[in-house]
Amino acid sequence: MSKPSTRTTDTPAALALSGGKDSVATLLDARDRWDVRLAVTVKHEFADPVALSNALKACSETGVRHQVVEIKLAGWFKRALKEGAPLCTKCGRAILKTVCLVAKSEGFNTVLTGHELRGKFGRRTAYPYSGVTIVRYPALRRWTWEDIEGKLEDADWFDPGYTCPIRPYGVHRFVEEVGYNPLTGRAATILLEGIATPEAILDYLRETETPPADPAPEDVAEALGADVDELFPNGPPDGPRPEDHRIRDLTYRLLMYYRQYLRGFRSLNRIEREERGWQLRRVLTEWSDHDDRIENLDPDDPILVAYGEKEPKDVLPDVEDVMAHVAEEYDREVPGVPVPPKGEDNG
């Protein structure tokens, strides 16, 4: 007897394959469900050889045609380090656009990615981009990080020891210029969506702030045709920040989402209100184990607001009061974090 088909769509698709766990798990699960016929790997000057090797092995194991495309991002990396710009955002967009252009030239109108988050605006998991439709496959399947790990359990050829060699340097410069890890927003959204535990998120942020042994700052500067002092005017990173800084940043960002929920409550439909209410309740409960300032907020309030048993305006002052106390820990003006006025109580 033949194996029953798991195909959920006959639409042929291409797939963005970085060689990381998210994209490899996507390929392993989607090769039959979505009729994946092409995997595109984009290689730039700082692409990790381990991830590239994973991508090659994944395509060999699945029989999916593989195409490696090289792009030049050194100029952008150099500017981002000098200016403290969000390096990952530009890099990710350049890679995604390249994959879409390749897919379109090969006749594919659908591109799958390993992105685990639903769209930032609205609840979409698919959207048009550069002439094709992007599908965030793990988000569509509602995978958690544990689900993704489970998809790789039998892939003994997969090497998890990959990283992005340039990312920690970009995070370091962004923190210097702006005041917080640029990946904090993504981390907070992952917590809200229940994709990973707080412990896993803190480990993830620590990893993004940990400079690699290879390449060293001098090697990065040489590869970019610059001096170390030019790229790191205050010195290269010597390790991740203290964990309480990451906790502070995450707490403030989570409270920003809570405040946004309360301020924009009337514009949400019933399903959105209830979904976000339950998300916030869970996060407030879980995160209070890491930041006792959250204990000053009643975790049931988001649910009471969602079901009309409490008015948003009655909860908002408490949220903003905790935000003000967190903001006092910043010794600078951070975007989205107003500097509290100086007074007798805070100097």
Q: What percent of the chain has pLDDT over 90?
A: 84
Residue 254 lies in a domain: yes
300 exposed, middle or buried (CB, 10 Å; 0-12, 13-18, 19+)?
middle
Beta strand extents in the chain (DSSP E only): 13-16, 36-43, 65-70, 110-113, 126-129, 132-136
Our count of domains for the chain comes to 2
For residues 63 and 37, give the distance between their C-alpha atoms in angstroms, rounded to a whole number.
9
Which range marks the domain in which residue 252 is found?
A: 180-210+242-327
Q: What is the mean pLDDT of the chain?
A: 92
AA letter at 307? Y
Whole-model pTM: value is 0.90
Nearest to 168 by CA among 214, 128, 122: 214
Q: Is the pLDDT of residue 4 over 60?
A: no
Specify the DSSP element, H or E, that contains 266: none
Kindly state whether residues 136 and 257 are assigned to the same domain.
Answer: no
Would residue 125 count as lying in a domain?
yes
Which CATH number characterizes residue 85's domain?
3.40.50.620
In a domain, 216, yes or no: no
- The pair of structure tokens assigned to 122 is 């609205």
**pLDDT given for residue 273 in this prediction:** 95
pLDDT band at 52 (very low <50, low <70, confident <90, very high): very high
Q: Is residue 3 part of a domain?
A: no
Residues 186, 138 share a domain: no
Residues 112 and 37 in one domain: yes
pLDDT digits (tens, 9 = 90+) for 300-325: 999 999 999 999 999 999 999 999 99
Q: What is the per-residue pLDDT for 341?
A: 53
For the cut 80, the answer to whether the pLDDT of residue 110 exceeds it is yes
Is 49 among the domain residues?
Answer: yes
Structure tokens at 138: 């793990």
Residue 229 lies in a domain: no
The verdict on residue 173 lying in a domain is no
- In the numeric block, the tokens 């820990």 are attached to 329
Beta-strand relationship, 132-136 and 126-129: antiparallel
